[in-house]
């Protein structure tokens, strides 16, 4: 299977080169943030305040990892359901985040925002938390430590595997894949 | 009468929390292998490859296969000739969960109030179902349940005139609408009959049955097969990327019902179908 190796952060050029169905291996820094952190970040945007970390051009991964065992960088760390972030994603993309990684369906507003702000939505294999954790080489809480597994973390990854679901052109792998394999 | 100290229950539950989250059952592994061999979509095949590798890492390194280590759902069959000593039975079950989730480096995913959402920090309370049965043994079954697949579950009070097609349509529609969200390939637990609350319980219980073990009633065994085929024709496929393996199994549990009603419930489980069992 063909794979695109990508270093973070992302430029518009890299984003525009990605198409729904592409398999990607990310290396570099990505940021973990899920429900509670999104709520706080969007509240800051509404108040016109800066984020505790600058995420322009960056990649957000929707994950709430399991605790690390002694000797582990991070516990199991697979994606959580992305749909819950739909309420916040258009604002996050308008701010300048270039890619978001999770699993599952996005709503129309998010899909449109991906096109408007030149960004992509990717999925990592849901439930493969032990496997995905192996690609994470460093993990550090950089904001909201009080949120526990929902804190914002800076993750250094090497060949983190993900599949492009919604690209910046309006294509949708979930719809395409389903149509392709559906039987009467 | 047999006397059992609840300390034994605490220890057993603590062990089961770790075991269920680290070791995926052989029945599920075999279903992955079948998927790897038979899935026609290349991305779908890749998913099965990753899931097999993931299960191997979890087993070898004793780490949870999925970071969502779930709500601890406990089914207890309590022999009526057992006399419990040494403390509160429910508290013992919760203490077991508390210890298992802490010592096992499992994620604590429970919040105290649905609106305030403050984490209880030890994954308690557990959801506990107790059935009193003949005998002097205690059978404990732990089934940690992830949120992503639980959220895609549904209940419907069908009417008797809707018959078999009503049930089939409801089940297929529920899985179809869930799409990629519950981490397909999924296992579909169906409750049929009983009352509003009983049918949800049956759907959850249906998920405990090992894969490849059809309903004992030939009619419902056939219906399980038919629904599985229909679900796998949706094209959703592994992780929703498109393919033929959307579900690994459909299990139906049936109970008598009122002349006026025909309740049905669908409890979706992800491929991280975890359980552990102990008899004390
Ligand atoms: S649905 Fe299951 S496999 Fe997917 S993230 Fe939740 S617990 Fe893990």
User: In this model, does residue B191 exceed pLDDT 80?
Assistant: yes
Q: What is the mean pLDDT of chain B?
A: 97
Tell me, in angstroms, the distance from the centre of ligand 1 to residue B185's CA. 11
| Alpha-carbon distance A138 to nearest alpha carbon in chain B (angstroms) | 17
- Beta-carbon separation of A78 and B233 below 8 A: no
Which of B185, B233, B247, B249 minimizes the C-alpha distance to B52?
B185
With residues binned 3-state (H G I as helix, E B as strand, rest as coil), the percentages for chain B, rounded to 5, are 40, 25, 35
**Pocket flag, ligand 1, residue B149 (CB < 6 Å):** yes
SS3 A132: helix
Is A163 at the interface with chain B, CB within 8 A? yes
Tell me, in angstroms, the distance from the centre of ligand 1 to residue B42's CA. 22
Q: pTM value?
A: 0.95
- Beta-carbon separation of A104 and B240 below 8 A: yes
pLDDT value, residue A2:
83
| Alpha-carbon distance A45 to nearest alpha carbon in chain B (angstroms) | 23
The domain locations on chain A are 3-170
Is A133 at the interface with chain B, CB within 8 A? yes
**Pocket flag, ligand 1, residue B58 (CB < 6 Å):** no
- Beta-carbon separation of B242 and A123 below 8 A: no
A17 CB neighbour count, 10 Å cutoff: 14
CB B126 within 8 A of CB B93: yes
Give the span between the Cα atoms of A165 and A175, in whole angstroms.
9
Interface test with A, best of B41, B62, B67 (most A CBs within 10 A): B67
Cβ contacts (< 8 Å) between B58 and chain A: which residues? Answer: 76, 130
For residue A21, give the chain B residue with the closest CA: B241
User: What ipTM was reported for this prediction?
Assistant: 0.93
Give the span between the Cα atoms of B257 and B154, in whole angstroms.
19
SS3 B5: strand
Give the span between the Cα atoms of A149 and A167, in whole angstroms.
29
- Beta-carbon separation of A76 and B119 below 8 A: no
Cβ contacts (< 8 Å) between B228 and chain A: which residues? Answer: none
Q: Which of residues 29-68 of A touch B (CB under 8 A)?
A: 36, 63-68
pLDDT over 70 for what percent of chain A?
A: 99
Q: Which of residues 218-247 of B touch A (CB under 8 A)?
A: 233-237, 239-244
Q: Dump pLDDT digits (tens) for B33-51.
A: 999 999 999 999 999 999 9
Question: For the residues B123-137, what does the mean pLDDT come to?
Answer: 98
User: In this model, does residue A1 exceed pLDDT 90?
Assistant: no
Question: For the residues A78-99, what does the mean pLDDT come to?
Answer: 97
Q: Dump pLDDT digits (tens) for B244-258.
A: 999 999 999 999 999
User: In this model, does residue A118 exceed pLDDT 90?
Assistant: yes
Q: Which of residues 65-124 of B touch A (CB under 8 A)?
A: 65-69, 105-109, 117, 119, 121
Band of pLDDT at residue B128, cut at 50, 70 and 90: very high
| Alpha-carbon distance A147 to nearest alpha carbon in chain B (angstroms) | 9
- Tell me which of B262 and B212 has the higher pLDDT: B262
pLDDT over 90 for what percent of chain B?
A: 98
CB A67 within 8 A of CB A75: yes
**Helices assigned H by DSSP within chain B:** 6-22, 26-38, 42-61, 89-103, 147-150, 163-178, 196-206, 218-232
Give the span between the Cα atoms of B199 and B26, in whole angstroms.
28
CB B184 within 8 A of CB B237: yes
- Beta-carbon separation of A123 and B239 below 8 A: yes
pLDDT value, residue A148:
85
| B109, B183, B184: residue to mutate for ligand 1 pocket, most atoms within 8 A of CB | B183
A62 carries an active-site annotation? no
Cβ contacts (< 8 Å) between B236 and chain A: which residues? Answer: 177-178
User: In this model, does residue A143 exceed pLDDT 90?
Assistant: yes
Residue of A38, A103, A111, A153 marked catalytic: A38
User: In this model, does residue B77 exceed pLDDT 80?
Assistant: yes
| Alpha-carbon distance A130 to nearest alpha carbon in chain B (angstroms) | 5
In chain B, the domains with their CATH numbers are: 2-20+65-145 (no CATH), 148-273 (3.30.1330)
SS3 A14: helix
The fold of A3-170 is fumarase (3.20.130)
| B32, B54, B149: residue to mutate for ligand 1 pocket, most atoms within 8 A of CB | B149
pLDDT value, residue B212:
85
> Which residues, 6 or more positions from B45, have their beta carbon under 8 angstroms from its beta carbon?
B35, B36, B39
Closest protein CA for atom 7 of ligand 1: B146
């Amino acid at each position: 299977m063909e794979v695109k190796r990508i270093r973070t952060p992302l430029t518009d050029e890299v984003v525009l080169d990605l198409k729904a169905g592409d398999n990607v291996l990310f290396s570099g820094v990505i940021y973990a943030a899920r429900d509670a952190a999104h709520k706080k970040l969007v509240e800051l945007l509404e108040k016109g305040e800066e984020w505790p970390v600058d995420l322009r051009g960056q990649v957000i991964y929707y994950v709430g990892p399991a605790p690390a065992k002694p000797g582990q960088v991070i516990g199991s760390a697979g994606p959580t359901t992305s749909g819950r972030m739909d309420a916040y994603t258009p604002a996050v993309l308008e701010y300048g985040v270039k890619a978001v990684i999770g699993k599952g369906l996005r709503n129309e507003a998010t899909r449109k925002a991906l096109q408007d702000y030149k960004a992509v939505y990717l999925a990592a294999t849901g439930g493969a938390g032990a496997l995905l954790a192996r690609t994470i080489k460093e993990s550090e809480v950089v904001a909201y430590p009080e949120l526990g597994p929902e804190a914002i973390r800076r993750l250094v990854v090497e060949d983190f595997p993900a599949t492009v679901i919604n690209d910046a052109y309006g294509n949708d792998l979930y719809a395409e894949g389903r149509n392709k394999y559906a039987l009467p | 009468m047999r006397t059992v100290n609840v300390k034994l229950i605490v220890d057993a539950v603590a062990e089961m929390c770790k075991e269920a989250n680290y070791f995926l059952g052989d029945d599920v592994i075999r279903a992955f292998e079948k998927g790897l061999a038979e899935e026609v979509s290349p991305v779908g095949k890749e998913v099965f490859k990753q899931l097999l590798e993931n299960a191997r890492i979890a087993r070898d390194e004793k780490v949870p296969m999925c970071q969502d280590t779930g709500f601890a759902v406990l089914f207890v069959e309590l022999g009526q000739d057992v006399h419990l000593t040494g403390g509160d039975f429910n508290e013992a079950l919760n203490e077991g969960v508390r210890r298992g989730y802490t010592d096992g480096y499992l994620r604590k995913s429970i919040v105290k109030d649905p609106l305030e959402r403050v984490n209880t920090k030890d994954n308690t309370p557990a959801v506990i179902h107790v059935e009193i049965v003949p005998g002097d043994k205690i059978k404990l079954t732990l089934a940690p349940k992830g949120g992503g697949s639980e959220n895609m579950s549904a209940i419907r009070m069908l009417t008797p005139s809707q018959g078999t097609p009503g049930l089939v349509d409801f089940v297929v529609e529920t899985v179809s609408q869930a799409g990629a969200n519950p981490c397909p390939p999924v296992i579909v637990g169906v409750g049929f009959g009983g009352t509003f609350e009983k049918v949800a319980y049956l759907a959850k219980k249906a998920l405990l049955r090992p894969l490849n073990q059809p309903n004992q009633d030939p009619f419902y065994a056939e219906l399980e097969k038919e629904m599985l085929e229909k679900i796998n024709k949706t094209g959703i496929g592994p992780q929703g990327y498109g393919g033929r393996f959307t579900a690994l199994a459909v299990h139906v549990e049936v109970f008598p019902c009122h002349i006026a009603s025909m309740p049905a419930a669908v409890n979706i489980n992800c491929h991280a179908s975890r359980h552990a069992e102990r008899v004390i």
